[in-house]
Chain A
Amino acid sequence: MNNPAPASPSPASEYGARARAWDWRRALAPTGNVGDAVFRAALFGCALLLLLIVVAMFVEIGSNARLSISRFGLPFLAGREWNPVRGEFGALPFVYGTVVSSLLALALAVPVSLGIAVFLVEQAPRALARLLAFLVELLAAIPSVVYGLWGIFVLAPFLREHVEPPLQKALGWLPFFQGTVTGIGLLTGGVILAIMVTPIVTAVVRDVLAAVPVSQREAALALGATKWETTRVVLANGAPGIAGAIILGLGRAVGETMAVTMVIGNRPEISASLFQPSYTIASVIANEFTEATGDLYLSALVELGLVLFLVTFVVNGAARLLVWSVTRGTSGVARA
């Protein structure tokens, strides 16, 4: 990286040219060729446009949320009541539902993802690893709304019949497993999210593990370590990247909309029980945006969108930097 550009062919007259007036062609492209200058400027414009889109997103969403921001201020995020009819807009139930469902998803998905990634990189024969990696990545190709459909008609009944009752029997004294068992609620949302973030976390961890130098493994094996002990050395080496992969999964879980909307129950209440219906930031936007009557209602929903945008942008940015710190210099990094 950061190689200097290949030296431009520098005729002797270049020194004379510098003394002459400022040349737009040379300012745009080091070769000073008209075609190069135009070509490079056009491509630069497209790259710049990408940045401008992000800036425009912040400005547009921010300005449309201004009404709500000026009316409620920061307490918006701490308000427990969401009642559009009475003009009460508090985002805490959505923040709670988003955080709990995402953390639940990570708790379920991270161990499995790490297991899959270790198996793919450290254990499986090459041909099998390729096939398995492709199949796991196919999980990421399934659309969110399809996960939601499957969640409503397959996963939710399954959890209601075979998972939640035993859980309640065994751990019902904990506040997390109390209340009526419906199959629709935080737990189902968390499980669906776990399935959805697994391929992303797996793919990034796999890239991270593959980027750990072979010499680390050879050194561990030469010292008499077993395969698993060698893997622990590799995992320790890739730790920052693995942390990045997990945060990347968190960002994905926080912003996931359709599948969660379809199975979480959509009730803006805060309850400790994982069996109870809940609501997430993304879900309330999806459900109520087209029905929002009145400027303040719409503005409050847009402000929720702004919160989601800011959070996922920061989370993804941080994750990306962590992953890059490990995989920098290797090709094909972080496809997720």
Chain B
Amino acid sequence: MSSRRVVNALMSTLTAACALLGVAVLVLILGYIAWRGVSSLSLQFLIDTPKPVGEGGGIGNAILGTLLLLALASVIGLPLGVAAGVYLAEFGRGWFAGVVRFVSETLTGVPSIVTGVFVYTLVVLPMRQFSALAGGVALGLIMIPVVTRTTEEMLRLVPASLREGALALGAPQWRVTTGVVLPAAAPGIATGAMLAVARVSGETAPLLFTAFGSRFFNVYLDQPVASLTVQIFNYALSPYDEWHAQAWAATLVLMTLILVINVSVRLLTRRKF
């Protein structure tokens, strides 16, 4: 065998090993979460509020809080993100759209903790307290550029012939977009929105000083609210084994939510894209 072939075989093996390593790390992490999480999981744990060490307690308020924050974030982030995405896909040809596209992409990479600092100065300081509203605004801001990009990509997949057909029938452009293009792209936009929700459901840093956290059930927007991620963070850094075990169980709940969204999106979109 020539040395060139040896190098070829070597490199092929190496790249395959890299892929294997990546998957192995994933399996290790998910497997460990499942193993540690299951042992502390119970129905009581899912509906209880946190209690002092030794008395059990659960994450019911954190689950509710996370759902509340995600709902708020969706209300803020989805309409804005979809609208901006529609603008970029349907009218986005000039320099202005180029700038919006670039800034939106760049914003995706800005650390979420910076968004937290921004929302702290924008919402928390004037309101003089941490609140669910502030947490929802922070998560919503993080969602916007993500939704904008997926919406634009999905609209671009709609064949031009659909638009031309509708225009040829005499429909004005706004009817073409809302009545023909958006419905055609709706499944794609919905999956993009689900992925955006999955992404912000794991955010912790922007919630530390906006939603803050709470030991009680709370549905009021002007009050601090618990979330799964902040709860995991606090329990992980505590010195108690019992709270560590609860952190793993809460992680299992959070990962289940995220994985279900990711895998179902994958299964739903496998054929089309």
Q: Give the nearest-CB partner of B203 in chain A.
A: A143
Instruction: Give the CA-CA distance A56 to B122 in the complex, in Å.
Output: 9
Interface of A is mostly: helix
Which residues of chain A are within 8 angstroms of B14 by Cβ–Cβ distance?
115
CB contacts under 8 Å to B, within A212-229, are: 226-229
Name the A residues within 8 Å of B255 (CB-CB): 142, 146
- Is residue B161 within 8 Å, beta carbon to beta carbon, of the partner chain? no
Question: A296-336, CB under 8 A of B: which get 1 and which 0?
Answer: 00000110010011001101110111000000000110100
Check A47/B113 contact, CB under 8 A, given A36-B173, A141-B198, A148-B236.
Answer: no
A82 and B148 alpha carbons, distance in the complex (Å): 40
Prevailing SS type, chain B contact patch: helix
Docked complex Cα distance between A258 and B203 (Å)? 9
**Cβ-defined contact, B205 with A144, below 8 A:** yes
Q: Do B109 and A112 touch across chains, with their CB atoms under 8 A apart?
A: no
Task: Pick from A120, A124, A309, A332: contact of B153, CB below 8 A.
Answer: A332
Question: Does the CB pair B33–A285 fall under 8 Å?
Answer: no
Contact with B along A32-60 (1 / 0, CB 8 A): 01011011101110111111011011001
Q: In chain A, what residue has the closest Cβ to B111? A: A255
A146 touching B112 by the CB < 8 A rule?
no
Is B74 engaged at the interface, CB distance under 8 Å to the other chain? Answer: no
B15 on the interface (CB 8 Å rule)? Answer: yes
Q: Which of A71-79, A130-138, A169-177 touches B?
A: A130-138
Query: Which of A1-9, A16-24, A89-97, A271-279 sits within the interface?
Result: A1-9
**Complex formed: what's the CA distance from A1 to B89 in Å?**
11
Residues of B within 8 A of A43 (CB): 83-84, 86-87, 90-91
The verdict on A54 contacting B259 (CB below 8 Å), with A60-B118, A144-B204, A255-B114 known, is no
User: Measured between C-beta atoms, what is the minimum distance from B232 to chain A in Å?
Assistant: 5
Q: Which of B99-154 contact A (CB under 8 A)?
A: 99-100, 102-118, 120-122, 141, 144-145, 148, 153
Q: Mark A247-282, 1 if CB is under 8 A from B, else 0.
A: 010011011111000100000000000000000001
B8 near A227 with CB under 8 A, answer: yes
B18 lies within 8 A of chain A by Cβ:
yes
| A140 closest partner in B (C-beta) | B199
In this complex, what residue of B is CB-closest to A292?
Answer: B209
Q: Is B21 an interface residue (CB 8 A)?
A: yes
Selected A-B contacts with CB under 8 Å, 11 pairs: A29-B173, A44-B91, A47-B96, A60-B121, A122-B15, A142-B29, A146-B33, A149-B232, A257-B204, A308-B113, A320-B105
Q: B residues touching A (Cβ–Cβ < 8 Å)?
A: 4-5, 7-8, 11-12, 14-19, 21-23, 25-26, 28-29, 32-33, 80, 83-84, 86-88, 90-91, 93, 96-97, 99-100, 102-118, 120-122, 141, 144-145, 148, 153, 156-157, 164, 167, 172-175, 177-178, 198-199, 201-205, 208-209, 212, 229, 232-233, 236-237, 244, 247-248, 251, 254-255, 258-259, 262, 266
Q: Write the residues of chain A forming the contact surface with B, with a CB cutoff of 8 angstroms.
A: 1-3, 5-6, 29, 31, 33, 35-36, 38-40, 42-44, 46-51, 53-54, 56-57, 60-61, 64, 111-116, 118-120, 122-124, 132, 134-136, 138-139, 141-150, 152-154, 195, 198-199, 202, 226-229, 231, 248, 251-252, 254-258, 262, 282, 285-286, 289-290, 301-302, 305, 308-309, 312-313, 315-317, 319-321, 331-332, 334
